[in-house]
Amino acid sequence: MQFFTLKVVNSSGESFELTHNTKTYVVKNISGLTRPTTDINTSTGTGDGTYYNSSKLQQRNLVIDVLLRGNIEANRQNLYKIFPLKTACTIYFKNRNRNVKIKGYVEVLDGDIFTSQEQMQISIICPQPYFESLQTIHTELSKIMRLFEFPFCITEPIPFSEKRNLPLCSILNNGDVACGCVLTISISGEVTNLKIYNVATQQFFGLDYEFQENDQITLNTQSGQKNISLIRDGETINLLSSMQSGSSWIQLATGINNFTFTADGADFVKIIFATVELYGGV
């Protein structure tokens, strides 16, 4: 009995599960599910040993070995349709503890068709090595704390919201590594000198810009996707040139992360953090 689920969504948006239907396919092995290897860059000096310079994770290579059953030829040809070479796909993997996904490109789909138990091998290259959680965590940061939720039944008056002197939010990163996030910042009045702080490190991301009512800012701090833009009256404006000196791209360390912000017109600012946790392996 298989204690995992393996599903693929191909470049055409078609979803196909390779597990739990042993009359057609049996997944015999998947390599590349644990942590990929690391490149450690060092240099030699006059003393013993070497000096550490930098390091980075290599790309992930998922290799799936599938045993064909039933109508062998039809099932093999079906794999050709599911995994067109050179195309993008998303692999979904679920076991007892983790439910994750990763994006990749089909490198190889090959096998020996002249064997009594025909088996195909699918190789997928994942340029970004980390698995991602399926769930996106949304956390709000603002000076106005909402206190009113449906459904409700009251006999005494209750406040709908509460104004806080110090806006603060906590985000728990249960992933294996630090990760970026996507911040959606909604503006409901005139705002200037906006700064978002990590309470523990005191690192900040600041913007020198005069914001106005109905502005919406998107700040993406994820690896390989870093950008900051403003939508105003249907027009998208790049705000990279408005970053304040000393700004750092916001990262979430593993564990609890606390954030606050300051601004002239802080009452008109609402920030939503969208976080996807990253995992080195399953």
CA 274 to chain centre: 9
Asked whether residue 162 carries a pLDDT value surpassing 80, the answer given is: no
Asked whether residue 245 carries a pLDDT value surpassing 50, the answer given is: yes
Residue pair 282/33 in contact by the 8 Å Cβ criterion: yes
| pLDDT score at 123 | 97
Residue pair 133/262 in contact by the 8 Å Cβ criterion: no
Label residue 5 by pLDDT band (50, 70, 90).
very high
| pLDDT score at 163 | 52
Residue pair 204/262 in contact by the 8 Å Cβ criterion: no
Return d(Cα 194, Cα 114) in angstroms, integer.
66
Residue pLDDT, tens place only, 69-83: 999 999 999 999 999
User: What percentage of residues in the chain have a pLDDT greater than 90?
Assistant: 82
User: What percentage of residues in the chain have a pLDDT greater than 70?
Assistant: 91
Residue pLDDT, tens place only, 99-140: 999 999 999 999 988 888 899 999 999 999 999 999 999 999
| pLDDT score at 8 | 96
- Write down the residue that tokens 């088996």 correspond to: 119
| pLDDT score at 148 | 47
| pLDDT score at 82 | 93
Asked whether residue 7 carries a pLDDT value surpassing 90, the answer given is: yes
| pLDDT score at 58 | 93
Label residue 145 by pLDDT band (50, 70, 90).
low
| pLDDT score at 20 | 87
Residue 53, by phi and psi: left (phi above 0), alpha (psi -120 to 50) or beta? alpha
Label residue 160 by pLDDT band (50, 70, 90).
very low
Q: What is the mean pLDDT of the chain?
A: 91
Return d(Cα 91, Cα 215) in angstroms, integer.
36
Please give the residue that has the higher pLDDT: either 169 or 48.
169
For the segment 247-268, the average pLDDT, to the nearest whole number, is 97
